[in-house]
Amino acid sequence: MLVDGRTRLNTEERHPNERVLLVGDTRQHESVEAGRIFAQLREAGMKTVRLDEIVRQKNPELKQPVEQLAHDDVGLAIAG
């Protein structure tokens, strides 16, 4: 089961051997409701993997500003 920040889980539909993959971005806004579940799980030692390859943008002109934003270079990304 793949779970991102917008997913609501129905635990009654789970299968006994099912695994859950939590997907999130540590640089996005935190939860507005009680609980910071991804942050709390990471702080408790949950194993994480960092994805650092941008694959959505194929066109180099579109990919470059996305890469610049990923490296916190907002000025360059906006200036184009």
Q: Examine the pLDDT at 45 and tell me if it is beyond 70.
A: yes
3-state secondary structure of 38: helix
The reply to whether the predicted model has a pTM over 0.85 is no
The tokens for 17 are 């051997």
How far, rounded to the nearest angstrom, does the alpha carbon of residue 77 sit from its chain's CA centroid? 21
CA distance 39 to 26: 8
- 3 three-state secondary structure: strand
**What is the tens place of the pLDDT at every residue in 10-35?**
667 777 788 877 777 777 766 666 66
What is d(CA 21, CA 27) in angstroms, rounded to the nearest whole number? 18
